[in-house]
Amino acid sequence: MRVRGGHEIDRRTPIRFTFDGRVIEGFQGDTVASALMAAGVRLVGRSFKYHRPRGLVTAGSDEPNALVTTGQGAEQRPNTRATMQEIWPGLEVQSQNRWPSLSIDAMAVNDLVSPFLGAGFYYKTFMWPRSFWEKVYEPAIRRAAGLGALSGDSAADRSERAFAHCDLLVIGAGPTGLMAALTAARAGADVILADENTRPGGRLLSERIEVGDEPGAEWAARAAAELAAMPNVRILSRTTVTGAYDGGTFGALERVALHAAPGAAPPECFWRIAARRAVLAAGALERSIAFPSNDRPGILMAGAARSYLHRWGVTPGKRVAIFGNNSDIYRTAKDLSAAGVEIAFVADTRPGESGKGDWPVFQDARVVATRGRRGLSGIKLDHSGGTAQLRADALLVAGGWNPAVHLTCHMNGRPVWDEAIAAFVPAPGAVPGLIAAGAAAGRFSTAACLADGVRAAGEALEELGYSLRGRPDLPEAEDAPYDITPLWTVKAPGRAWLDLQNDVTTKDVRQAAQENMTSVEHMKRYTTQGMATDQGKGSNVQALAVLADATGRGIAATGTTTFRPPYVPVPIGAMGAGARGEGFAPRRLSPTHAACVARGAPMIEAGLWMRPSYFPRDGERDWRESCDREVGHVRHAAGVADVSTLGKIDVQGPDAGRFLDFVYANGMSGLAPGRVRYGLMLREDGHVMDDGTAARLGDAHFLVSTTTAAAAQVMAHMEFVQQAYLPDLDVAFSSVTDAWAQFAVAGPRARDLLDRVLDRPVSWDGWPFMSCGDVSVGGVPGRLFRISFSGELGYEIAVPARYGGALFEALVARAEDMGGGAYGMEAMNVLRLEKGFLTHAEMHGRVTAFDIGLQGMLSAKKDFIGKGAAARPGLLDATRERLVGLRAVEPEDRIVAGAHLFGETGSEGYVTSAGFSPTLGGFIGLGFLRNGPERYGERLILKDRLRRIEAKVDVVAPGPFDPEGGRMRG
């Protein structure tokens, strides 16, 4: 029912939205919850397990019942709190967990069989038979006990992430937070003030409280305006701080544009805030009292009812009853009565207490039963004078306040029981740099909150070395004592709910205790208390009290469960914003990327790089035909391949040779300038890390090449070796991978092809195998290396990256004139397999130099990384799985990587790489086999049971093509 007032709404702007297809009209500033309440809609959802009809309970992010789904398709958002979702024209809201409709829910039959569905039901019932769990029980349970569903459409990745730094993060903008922010901001500190509501003010917006000589809401607006005008303050509204992490890092979820139709603005933004200090001014959450049938629509928190009244000008009923154990009940009656609502009665659980008013007050009262199928209609009361049956359409419950201690527990801190307020308060210093203040610290009066905000900010600023100038004067405000006599449950027949979302009752908790689940953590898991999306914000402490009572311990001794981040659910789409698809990792493009794409080459991922798989030509039916042709270019004419992605590390300094001697297993300092050497790097544990070449460009200048995959790892490794072990060497190095474009030019006519682009021809004698030096290409200085990864006469030519595209085009065009052309990754792989050259398919981290037949490269003359460990006897055992070549026996048989090699004793090895060799006319491969090199000539069975492949293979020496290497050396 709409009444007067409401700080949040603009009555000149009506807004229409739909709830389960029904058009509802509210005002600009309404939440779905306040608009539904204004429209008299009481039934907003069904409970998780029993499908009980449920209504609004709170007015904030702690709402357990009113979870709804908004939008459709890619914009569909399940489990949205109706209390936090502001309405906008055209908003579509659907209720959840009901079928076929909210008012007629077939699954409500669960409620009738509820005696069988109590705590531990799943554990006890679905034990046997095991196969039934996956096929029968779980799908049925999932259908019956559900939250909202995802649409299945790929969500648009429109959310954002952001980073911020500040001196002081103030969490919550109620009286405490506003005073803390003012204190810090006036002292000149960088302040971020984060608050989960639309506007600052906190409880000042929800109560009739004067601050100084003006209404609290007006004071809050003025304070916020002053802060907003200061350059050192950022106010984050609609932003919930969700987690406290190491080193003063906080996560926060900002609802940037969820209050408007989807447009250009991101729906949400996930903030990572690095704060030197923080003040927790998150206030307190009101808790209920567990009385029989306390879950009917129309039964809600008294503080929430005051929020609905003062913030949105709505009330939950025309004739309301109030039940509670503290002084809030009288404040609630006064406020609602002033708004013209009839007060059915005030039921005070305390004996001998009675506030004044024009309504019946019952003392020592207990609500023992409620009536109303889909919404409250009547209440039965026991009280000091007997019993009473009364009519009411809403019951407002005030069970006391729990400080919002959650963030202080995110780093293992345990809150402390405070008997005076019958609640847990934060343990001081639980999160380094975070100071709890105001209601979050258990100080509930407005005057205490205002003062505590100044105190907390002052402490933080002092620690940061700020002088406290311009400290705000403390305005006058109410300082009423918080008078509570705790009452957790009403002992009367009937089910009394604790966790409304997960349908946990007091009986479930007592049963857990009876079955010896007396530890609070066991009780939680047995009953699922507090495990719903609201994480038991409104019910955990009551559940502890029930457990404490059932086990005969005090609440302090019973202890709490662990609060973990996030404080409210954070969509993965917001936390991982921007990190989907191509945003997941950077994409590195070679200078030839455009040229390769223009030639129709499918580009495939190689680490972060995109590389051409093959270059299709007209008439070729599949990749194999292209690959076979490209292999032929290299074997018979000249091929050109982009190898720019290989890692290149430029190493300079008088001690460069000595440094590389220590990094490589083989010697490098003896390499003559102008020469290139193959090198092997080990890890310190004696296994192969990477291979590549080192080219000595000058006395004190080397260029190290790495594989594409290991480039970053090798760079980090070299930095570690230098900084940790060889800090005194005069050497420096830098990655130059991106600075140079580099192309393999290979084939019998490779030299001929190079001569067509180089300014001076490549002399045969001047460029022997494994030589390097400077060249000039169209006036551009470049480098030439005579090295080969194909087994043919081969060169690699490098030019500054910006000339790469042009040189590639020139080389490919001339190669095509000569009957050759570009070749891609597939052909490169076949060429190296034919030669038995290795990649990281073989150097996969578990192999040693011994395993790949390169033990002889390990220098005996010097120490190097991995030397000690590589000498361990177990790594030199002949029975280890060692490198072999493989050839399919039958021409039609395939060899596939990942297949096992079966001999007489079963699997004796595996295949690492394979491909079709057009040169040899059959499938070839590389793999590892026990006693490998001793078994050339043996015939084994290859089996891939996943792909159902079986073939006979012969074990051969790796690299069956041109084993003497005459073609490569010339």
Partner 1 sequence: MRIECPHCGERDLREFTYRGHALALSRPSEGASAEEWDDFLHNRDNPAGATQDLWRHDPCGAWLVAERSTTTHQVRATRAVRGGEA
Q: Judged by CB under 8 A, does residue 131 bind partner 1? A: no
CB nearer partner 1, residue 137 or residue 725: 725
> Which is nearest to 804 in space by CA: 589, 616, 608?
589
Q: What are the strands of the beta sheet with 366-371, ordered from one edge?
A: 366-371, 378-383, 386-391
CB nearer partner 1, residue 339 or residue 726: 726
The contact pattern for partner 1, residues 17-46, with x = CB under 8 A and - = no contact, is ------------------------------
CB nearer partner 1, residue 385 or residue 432: 432
Q: Within positions 755 to 784, which residues make up the interface with partner 1, using CB under 8 A?
A: none
The stretches of 378-514 forming alpha helices (DSSP H) are 446-464, 506-514
* Shortest distance (Å) from residue 475 CB to partner 1: 37
Q: Judged by CB under 8 A, does residue 846 bind partner 1? A: no
Q: Judged by CB under 8 A, does residue 729 bind partner 1? A: no
Do the Cβ atoms of 210 and 478 come closer than 8 Å? yes
The contact pattern for partner 1, residues 871-900, with x = CB under 8 A and - = no contact, is -x----------------------------
> Which is nearest to 744 in space by CA: 640, 645, 613?
640
Q: Which of 724, 906, 937, 966 lies at the binding interface for partner 1 (CB under 8 A)? A: 724
Instruction: Please identify, among the stretches 321-329, 451-459, 670-678, 724-732, the one whose residues bind partner 1 according to the rule CB under 8 A.
Output: 724-732
Peptide bond into 566 cis (omega under 30): yes
- Read off the amino acid at residue 733: F
Instruction: Please identify, among the stretches 202-210, 716-724, 763-771, 833-841, the one whose residues bind partner 1 according to the rule CB under 8 A.
Output: 716-724
CB nearer partner 1, residue 250 or residue 482: 250
CB nearer partner 1, residue 424 or residue 733: 733
CB nearer partner 1, residue 104 or residue 860: 860
Length reported for the chain: 970
Q: Judged by CB under 8 A, does residue 432 bind partner 1? A: yes
Q: Which of 73, 428, 845, 868 lies at the binding interface for partner 1 (CB under 8 A)? A: 868
CB nearer partner 1, residue 872 or residue 969: 872
Q: Judged by CB under 8 A, does residue 88 bind partner 1? A: no
Q: Judged by CB under 8 A, does residue 585 bind partner 1? A: no
Instruction: Please identify, among the stretches 251-259, 631-639, 803-811, 862-870, the one whose residues bind partner 1 according to the rule CB under 8 A.
Output: 862-870
DSSP 321-346: EEEESBTHHHHHHHHHHHTT-EEEEE
Q: Which of helix, strand or coil describes residue 868?
A: helix
Q: Judged by CB under 8 A, does residue 266 bind partner 1? A: no
Query: How far apart, in whole angstroms, are the C-alpha atoms of residue 672 and residue 431?
Result: 60
CB nearer partner 1, residue 387 or residue 734: 734
CB nearer partner 1, residue 330 or residue 864: 864
* Shortest distance (Å) from residue 581 CB to partner 1: 20
Helix (H) or strand (E) holding 596: helix 593-598
CB nearer partner 1, residue 427 or residue 889: 427
Kindly state the number of chain residues that form the binding site for partner 1, as judged by CB under 8 A: 26
Query: How far apart, in whole angstroms, are the C-alpha atoms of residue 769 and residue 771?
Result: 6
Q: Which of 214, 863, 890, 934 lies at the binding interface for partner 1 (CB under 8 A)? A: 863
* Shortest distance (Å) from residue 195 CB to partner 1: 25
Query: How far apart, in whole angstroms, are the C-alpha atoms of residue 865 and residue 626?
Result: 42
* Shortest distance (Å) from residue 874 CB to partner 1: 11
Query: How far apart, in whole angstroms, are the C-alpha atoms of residue 54 and residue 269?
Result: 31
DSSP 881-904: EEEEEEEESSTT----TT-EEEET
Instruction: Please identify, among the stretches 344-352, 566-574, 597-605, 717-725, the one whose residues bind partner 1 according to the rule CB under 8 A.
Output: 717-725
Give the β-pairing of 639-642 and 609-612.
Answer: unpaired
* Shortest distance (Å) from residue 715 CB to partner 1: 8
Helix (H) or strand (E) holding 171: strand 160-171
Q: Judged by CB under 8 A, does residue 411 bind partner 1? A: yes
Q: Which of helix, strand or coil describes residue 383?
A: strand
Q: Dihedral of CA 885/890/892/894: which sign?
A: negative
Q: Name, in order, each residue with C-beta under 8 angstroms of 553's C-beta and a sequence gap of 6 or more.
A: none
Q: Judged by CB under 8 A, does residue 719 bind partner 1? A: yes
CB nearer partner 1, residue 526 or residue 850: 850
Is residue 90 exposed (0-12), middle (13-18) or buried (19+ Cβ within 10 Å)? exposed
The stretches of 743-887 forming alpha helices (DSSP H) are 750-755, 804-817, 825-835, 867-870
The stretches of 611-756 forming alpha helices (DSSP H) are 623-636, 656-663, 711-720, 750-755
CB nearer partner 1, residue 132 or residue 720: 720
Q: Judged by CB under 8 A, does residue 157 bind partner 1? A: no
Q: 507-512, long-range: CB within 8 Å, 24+ apart, which pairs? A: 507/118, 508/118, 508/119, 509/119, 509/543, 509/546, 509/547, 509/550, 510/546, 510/550, 511/118, 511/119, 511/120, 512/119, 512/120, 512/547
Do the Cβ atoms of 150 and 442 come closer than 8 Å? no
Q: Which of 722, 737, 788, 790 lies at the binding interface for partner 1 (CB under 8 A)? A: 722
CB nearer partner 1, residue 213 or residue 246: 246
CB nearer partner 1, residue 88 or residue 245: 245
Q: Judged by CB under 8 A, does residue 684 bind partner 1? A: yes
* Shortest distance (Å) from residue 273 CB to partner 1: 11
* Shortest distance (Å) from residue 410 CB to partner 1: 12
Q: Which of helix, strand or coil describes residue 666?
A: coil
Q: Within positions 269 to 308, which residues make up the interface with partner 1, using CB under 8 A?
A: 272, 274
Q: Dihedral of CA 439/445/446/449: which sign?
A: negative
Q: Judged by CB under 8 A, does residue 476 bind partner 1? A: no
Instruction: Please identify, among the stretches 565-573, 609-617, 867-875, 943-951, the one whose residues bind partner 1 according to the rule CB under 8 A.
Output: 867-875
Q: Which of 586, 727, 906, 966 lies at the binding interface for partner 1 (CB under 8 A)? A: 727
Geometric angle at alpha carbon 626, from 620 and 629, rounded to 5°: 110
Do the Cβ atoms of 612 and 800 come closer than 8 Å? no
* Shortest distance (Å) from residue 858 CB to partner 1: 13
Q: Judged by CB under 8 A, does residue 715 bind partner 1? A: yes
Question: Which two three-digit tokens encode residue 653?
Answer: 């300094």
DSSP 207-240: S--EETTEEHHHHHHHHHHHHHT-TTEEEETTEE
* Shortest distance (Å) from residue 481 CB to partner 1: 37
* Shortest distance (Å) from residue 244 CB to partner 1: 12
Q: Within positions 161 to 180, which residues make up the interface with partner 1, using CB under 8 A?
A: 163
Q: Within positions 223 to 262, which residues make up the interface with partner 1, using CB under 8 A?
A: 245-249
The contact pattern for partner 1, residues 184-223, with x = CB under 8 A and - = no contact, is ----------------------------------------
Do the Cβ atoms of 332 and 409 come closer than 8 Å? no
**Tokens 């790489």 belong to residue:** 913
Do the Cβ atoms of 69 and 82 come closer than 8 Å? no
How many Cβ atoms are within 10 Å of 272's Cβ, its own excluded? 16
Q: Which of 116, 132, 584, 720 lies at the binding interface for partner 1 (CB under 8 A)? A: 720
Instruction: Please identify, among the stretches 153-161, 541-549, 865-873, 950-958, the one whose residues bind partner 1 according to the rule CB under 8 A.
Output: 865-873
Q: Which of 107, 390, 869, 949 lies at the binding interface for partner 1 (CB under 8 A)? A: 869
Q: Which residues bind partner 1 (CB under 8 A)?
A: 163, 245-249, 272, 274, 411, 432, 684-685, 715-716, 719-720, 722-725, 727, 863, 867-869, 872
